[in-house]
Amino acid sequence: MQLAIAIALAASHASALDVGASMRATMHKLHTALQPATPLQEDVIDLGDGAQGTVVSFEATDRDCAWCAATSIIDGTSTSWELEAWNGPSVEAPHFYASLEDDGENIEVEVDFRPRLDAGYDLAVEATDAREYPAPTSRAGFSQKALRVDYDELFFSAEARAWRATKLVDAESVTPRWATLVVEGRRQYGDDDAGSVGGPLALRARYPRDAVEAAVAACDEAADRYINWMTNPAEASWMRTRLIFARDSQVRQAVAAKRVSILGERYGATGRELAKAMNGRLDMQGHNMMQEQVAFGDDADDGR
């Protein structure tokens, strides 16, 4: 039954079908690896003019995964898929995001592992060989430097960075869309802003059509990396759990609001409904202040 629901993510044309099957398999792998989990839930939304959005989702709170969703949008000759997993605040493992878009000419992939706290990552610095950040001149700067050291040891190692580099060998590097999204609200360390969503492994790559297997592999391998971290996740301390909870609320709010804006502009009210299904429940998103911004109601289950 669960696999049958996942098949709803299939694309309607042959060239996209192989990609869709691979993305469905990746979602099924996430669901299997994060057991015990809720059964896969399917939401199918008619976006008008022949376009259709499908969201397949689950929760695995006993495995510290608060929400995981796979989304497909089929619109004429273009098809897109997104995979997103949000973790609970008691573990250090980054959130997971992967997307793949097929416009009939190119395959575009975006992958990110979103850090749980604002470590002050700068993608421009990360793109250099030396990756030398300015010497800290404030308590905030020292705190963020310490976080980067911790995260490099736990998640963003030399091996992980080398993996990222291989994904760009035969592809055109493009500026990530989601990783550069700046978080609004209270600043974690008193800097000019609350930091951006993405981490140092964030990438967006445009592959030619004949490299579709490499594009699909980037998403699948990223999911494997996430599963490995979540198999025996590093636990957060009591103090970090509180900080992570607050930061998660800000990050999920920023992503949810941006997604509602993008899909609402593209498809109107039905696009906003699709965004709500993708974003999941608002338990960790500062529910009361989210209602007007991202069009959710008072029901705790709203947004699924």
Q: Look at residue 299 and tell me if it is in a domain.
A: no
**Confidence (pLDDT) at 25:** 93
Query: Is 157 part of a structural domain of the chain?
Result: yes
In a domain, 301, yes or no: no
Instruction: Fill in the DSSP letter of residue 235.
Output: B
For helices 212-231 and 14-33, the axis angle rounded to 10 degrees is 10
Within a domain: residue 298? Answer: no
Count of domains observed in the chain: 1
Query: What is the pLDDT at residue 140?
Result: 87
Q: Any idea what the Cα angle at residue 185 is, between residues 180 and 191, rounded to 5°?
A: 70
Answer whether residue 83 is part of any domain.
yes
- In order along its 304 residues, the chain shows pLDDT tens digits of 554 444 444 433 334 436 788 888 999 999 999 999 999 999 999 999 999 999 999 999 999 999 999 999 999 888 999 999 999 999 999 999 999 999 888 999 999 999 999 999 999 999 898 999 999 998 888 999 999 999 999 999 999 999 999 999 989 999 999 999 998 766 666 566 678 999 999 999 999 988 999 999 999 999 999 999 999 999 999 999 999 999 999 999 999 999 999 999 999 999 999 999 999 986 655 433 343 344 433 344 444 4
pLDDT of residue 160: 97
Round to whole Å and give the CA distance between 27 and 94: 17
| Domain hosting residue 208, numbered range | 2-293
Q: Measured between alpha carbons, how far is 45 from 143 in angstroms, rounded to an integer? A: 44
> 23 in a domain, yes or no?
yes
pLDDT at position 227: 98
Question: Is residue 16 a part of any domain in this protein?
Answer: yes
DSSP 8: G
Whether the CA torsion 6, 8, 9, 13 is positive or negative: it is positive
Q: Residue 218 belongs to a domain with what CATH number? A: 3.40.1500.20
Q: What is the pLDDT of residue 186?
A: 65
Torsion of CA 101, 102, 107, 108, to 10 degrees: -20
pLDDT at res. 76: 87
For residue 104, the model assigns a pLDDT of: 83
Q: Is residue 303 part of a domain?
A: no
